């Protein structure tokens, strides 16, 4: 006898059999980003709202929302409801109660406009994206060696042409700065401005003629600039001032502790909280440490901190690494709850750019905001450094987290972010399956479910698959296509950081080469030729020569044709010396700015004849 429950179960199984392998039955409530803490299907009367700042309770009854929470919480509830209106079929948002709250007080992104000026509109667009995914901080790096990009009426010499070594005369007026702070505030995003000192101050020194910052004049002038900055917004709208303090390496940047005490005192006298990079110079008083690149363990120090370590510096990250970073790098993994203030994505683009949009394109800023929103909001239960730059194999229980995160990010990209005008260079990859062999054909790894594979990675050696010694590795996959398919392919074997120039990664490949080591790629036994590079063989560390086409996600996809049935892709990666050892391949439709997956493809790490 079939009960109603049995029939429902059998119906669910029947539907599941029509879905692609590995797909799950979901509705719009399962596609939210970041994932809410509690989702109760149906209107449940006794669910209590959270008392955590930024938390909320959202009740949806017959499509109509009602929410409770503090001011930030109500904004977060509105963001959730707006997502649901785009994720659901018209008029089909399920009745539900959502109870949600953030793990961390601060969740943000830092944009470096000191090195490369970006338009006010571009900055506002980034802030809108932050607000859409429940971030509440925009860290604005305003000054660097290349320019002091915030207008000073007290010291107008900072905006004279001789002070700039890039994008001369490009800076933000005080009115523009005020406008951005007010715009962000209306969206619930707090601007943290950074005047970097005493390091990264070449523009300041050129403008003022102060060669040695240890002098008393430098102490006073920089203190005046701090005071002036604080007049541009009140302490409620702009409660934190970031003073940098990192990388004071040049002789003229060495200052006595009394200078730091004075600058910190100016911040405090203006009713603001002091923030500085760590490692950096010692800042006095209770402020906020901002952890940056490297293993900087703050245990034993009760100072509150914000985490921007490792792959949260996305200028070092390939877009197809973002999924593993978002799933497996745990924000704020040290200290007690009171010290863990949150995390900030770092976007440093040291090289000169050719176009304003290059910073968000080449650093995959918009995909990073989406993917990292989940861990920045909820935290992660564990830190998995062996997965910072690779995905686990499907048999690893940790794989489910990446697969679910990818599924939800795809729903957001295709339903919530429709019409996004900015580059979004990211596609799904967990269905891929690769095997890696050494030069003698010995299998080093199989069932690798990703698009970009590092046999050995400089930043994250624990994430490598890797033979310890230099040598040749071969990456292979077998792709089955339902019909003859003409599409593009993202193919990459360089992996240039946007912060290290081409110096450590080696030269841009020569014409006719995929990389400096002689890597090659074949599709069904035929070699795929590399692009005609704009800057072939460029060596050294050419900071002032913009990247153009050196990596796959900011050049046009390589045209390929997949035949009906099984297709063999083989990447051969010789390795002699250098920075990274990398192979990337993913079929795509459309442009690199707005790529999509090629439908109907399936992957295997072994040929069907075996």
In order of 385, 548, 605, the CA distances from 536 in angstroms are 35, 11, 33
pLDDT of 471: 84
Give the span between the Cα atoms of 105 and 306, in whole angstroms: 10
By DSSP bridging, strand 565-573 and strand 558-562 are unpaired
How much is the pTM? 0.94
Q: What is the residue whose two structure tokens read 């690494």?
A: 321
The answer to whether residues 33 and 408 touch, using CB atoms and an 8 Å cutoff, is: yes
In DSSP notation, 593-610 reads SS-EEPTT-EEESS-TT-
Read off φ and ψ for residue 479, nearest 5 degrees.
-110, 125
How many helices (H) and strands (E) would you count in the chain? Answer: 11, 26
Reported confidence tier of residue 14, pLDDT bands at 50, 70, 90: very low
The answer, yes or no, to whether residue 12 has pLDDT greater than 80, is no
pLDDT of 499: 86
Name the strands in the sheet holding 64-69, side by side, starting at the edge strand that comes first in the sequence.
38-41, 96-100, 56-61, 64-69
User: Mean of the pLDDT values across residues 157-179?
Assistant: 97
Q: What is the residue whose two structure tokens read 């700065």?
A: 177
Answer whether CATH 1.10.760.10 is correct for domain 106-387: no
Tens digit of pLDDT for each residue in 205-241? 999 999 999 999 999 999 999 999 999 999 999 999 9
Give the span between the Cα atoms of 336 and 332, in whole angstroms: 9
Reported confidence tier of residue 18, pLDDT bands at 50, 70, 90: very low
Q: What is the residue whose two structure tokens read 């943000």?
A: 108
Tens digit of pLDDT for each residue in 532-552? 999 998 876 778 889 999 999
Give the span between the Cα atoms of 550 and 534, in whole angstroms: 8
β-partners of residue 288 are 275
The answer to whether residues 578 and 509 touch, using CB atoms and an 8 Å cutoff, is: no
The enclosing H or E element of 109 equals strand 106-112
Read off φ and ψ for residue 83, nearest 5 degrees.
-60, -45
Give the span between the Cα atoms of 38 and 33, in whole angstroms: 13
pLDDT of 379: 97
Secondary structure (3-state) at 359: helix
Secondary structure (3-state) at 311: helix
pLDDT of 439: 82
Percent of the chain residues topping a pLDDT of 70:
92
In order of 454, 588, 597, the CA distances from 581 in angstroms are 6, 23, 25
pLDDT of 463: 84
Q: What is the mean pLDDT of the chain?
A: 91
The answer to whether residues 311 and 356 touch, using CB atoms and an 8 Å cutoff, is: no
In order of 247, 455, 501, 504, 521, the CA distances from 540 in angstroms are 22, 24, 8, 8, 26
pLDDT of 297: 59
User: Mean of the pLDDT values across residues 492-504?
Assistant: 82
Residue 198: cis peptide before it, omega within 30 degrees of 0: yes
Tens digit of pLDDT for each residue in 576-594? 766 678 999 999 999 999 9
Secondary structure (3-state) at 35: coil
User: Mean of the pLDDT values across residues 252-258?
Assistant: 94
pLDDT of 530: 97
- The segment(s) of the chain belonging to CATH 2.60.120 are 427-604
Give the span between the Cα atoms of 146 and 425, in whole angstroms: 28
Task: Tell me which residue of 332, 255, 350, 349 sits closest to 296, measured CA to CA.
Answer: 332
Reported confidence tier of residue 312, pLDDT bands at 50, 70, 90: very high
Question: What is the DSSP secondary structure assignment for residue 172, as one 8-state letter?
Answer: B
Structure tokens at 294: 């490297």
The answer to whether residues 274 and 268 touch, using CB atoms and an 8 Å cutoff, is: yes
The answer, yes or no, to whether residue 34 has pLDDT greater than 50, is yes
Tens digit of pLDDT for each residue in 360-418? 999 999 999 999 999 999 999 999 999 999 999 999 999 999 999 999 999 999 999 99
pLDDT of 300: 60
Reported confidence tier of residue 424, pLDDT bands at 50, 70, 90: very high
User: Mean of the pLDDT values across residues 97-103?
Assistant: 97
Task: Tell me which residue of 197, 267, 265 sits closest to 235, measured CA to CA.
Answer: 267
User: Mean of the pLDDT values across residues 597-604?
Assistant: 98
pLDDT of 46: 83
In sequence order, what are the residues at sequence separation of 6 or more whose Cβ sits closer than 8 angstroms to the Cβ of residue 108?
A: 130, 135, 136, 137, 138, 139, 189, 192, 342, 343, 344, 345
The answer, yes or no, to whether residue 515 has pLDDT greater than 70, is yes
Task: Tell me which residue of 518, 537, 540, 521 sits closest to 529, measured CA to CA.
Answer: 521
More confident residue, 581 or 598: 598
Give the span between the Cα atoms of 356 and 249, in whole angstroms: 29
Give the span between the Cα atoms of 220 and 132, in whole angstroms: 41
The answer, yes or no, to whether residue 609 has pLDDT greater than 80, is no
Give the span between the Cα atoms of 590 and 597, in whole angstroms: 9
pLDDT of 71: 96
Structure tokens at 433: 């399956």
Instruction: Looking at the structure, give the CATH architecture of the domain made up of residues 427-604.
Output: Sandwich (2.60)
- The segment(s) of the chain belonging to CATH 3.20.20.80 are 106-387
pLDDT of 302: 80
pLDDT of 48: 86
Read off φ and ψ for residue 606, nearest 5 degrees.
-135, 150
pLDDT of 19: 35
Reported confidence tier of residue 25, pLDDT bands at 50, 70, 90: very low
Tens digit of pLDDT for each residue in 320-370? 999 999 999 999 998 888 899 999 999 999 999 999 899 999 999 999 999
């Amino acid at each position: 006898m079939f009960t109603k429950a049995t029939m429902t179960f059998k119906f669910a199984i029947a539907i599941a059999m029509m879905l692609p392998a590995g797909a799950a039955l979901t509705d719009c409530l399962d596609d939210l980003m970041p994932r809410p803490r509690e989702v109760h299907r149906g209107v449940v009367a006794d669910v209590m709202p959270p008392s955590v700042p930024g938390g909320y309770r959202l009740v949806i009854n017959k499509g109509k929302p009602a929410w409770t929470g503090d001011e930030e919480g109500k904004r977060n509830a509105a963001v959730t409801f707006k997502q649901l209106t785009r994720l659901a079929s018209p008029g089909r948002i399920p009745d539900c109660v959502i109870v949600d709250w953030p793990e961390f007080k601060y969740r943000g992104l830092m944009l470096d406009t000191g090195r490369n000026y970006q338009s006010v509109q571009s900055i506002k667009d980034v802030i809108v994206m932050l607000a859409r995914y429940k971030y509440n901080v925009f860290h604005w790096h305003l000054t660097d060696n290349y320019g002091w990009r915030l207008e000073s009426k007290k010291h107008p010499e900072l905006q004279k042409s001789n002070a700039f070594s890039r994008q001369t005369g490009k800076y933000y007026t005080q009115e523009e700065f005020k406008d951005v702070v007010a715009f962000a505030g209306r969206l619930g995003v707090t601007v943290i401005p950074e005047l970097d000192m005493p390091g990264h101050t070449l523009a300041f020194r050129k403008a003022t003629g102060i060669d040695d910052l240890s002098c008393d004049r430098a102490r006073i002038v920089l203190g005046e600039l701090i005071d002036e900055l604080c007049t541009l917004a009140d302490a409620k709208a702009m409660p934190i001032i970031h003073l940098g303090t990192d990388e004071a390496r040049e002789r003229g940047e060495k200052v006595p502790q009394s200078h730091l005490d004075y600058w910190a005192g100016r911040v405090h006298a203006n009713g603001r909280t002091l923030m500085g990079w760590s490692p950096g110079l010692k800042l006095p008083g209770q402020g906020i440490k901002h952890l940056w690149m490297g293993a900087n363990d703050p245990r034993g120090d009760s100072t509150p901190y914000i985490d921007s370590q490792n792959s949260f510096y996305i200028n070092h990250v390939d877009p197809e690494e973002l999924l593993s970073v978002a799933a497996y790098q745990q924000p704020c993994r040290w200290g007690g709850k009171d010290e863990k203030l949150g995390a900030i994505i770092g976007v440093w683009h040291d090289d000169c750019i050719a176009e304003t949009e290059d910073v968000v394109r080449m650093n995959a800023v918009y995909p990073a905001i989406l993917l990292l929103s989940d861990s920045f909001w909820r935290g992660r239960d564990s830190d998995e450094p062996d997965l910072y730059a690779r995905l686990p194999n499907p048999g690893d229980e940790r794989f489910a987290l990446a697969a679910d995160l990818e599924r939800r990010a795809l729903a957001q990209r295709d339903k919530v972010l429709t019409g996004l005008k900015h580059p979004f260079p990211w596609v799904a990859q967990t269905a891929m399956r690769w095997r890696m062999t050494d030069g003698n054909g010995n299998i080093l790894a199989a069932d690798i479910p990703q698009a970009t594979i590092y046999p050995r990675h400089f930043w994250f050696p624990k994430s490598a698959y890797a033979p310890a010694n230099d040598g040749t590795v071969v990456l292979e996959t077998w792709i089955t296509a339902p019909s003859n398919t003409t599409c593009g392919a993202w193919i990459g074997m360089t992996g240039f950081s946007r912060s290290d120039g081409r110096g450590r990664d080696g030269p841009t490949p020569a014409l006719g080469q995929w990389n400096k080591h002689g890597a090659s790629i074949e599709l069904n036994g035929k070699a795929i030729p590399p692009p005609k590079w704009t800057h072939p063989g460029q060596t050294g560390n050419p900071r002032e020569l913009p990247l153009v086409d050196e990596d796959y996600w900011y050049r046009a996809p390589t045209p390929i044709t997949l035949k009906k049935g099984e297709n063999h892709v083989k990447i051969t990666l010789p390795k002699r010396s250098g920075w990274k050892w990398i192979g990337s391949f993913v079929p795509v439709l459309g442009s690199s700015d707005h790529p999509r997956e090629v439908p109907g493809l399936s992957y295997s790490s072994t040929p069907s004849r075996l």
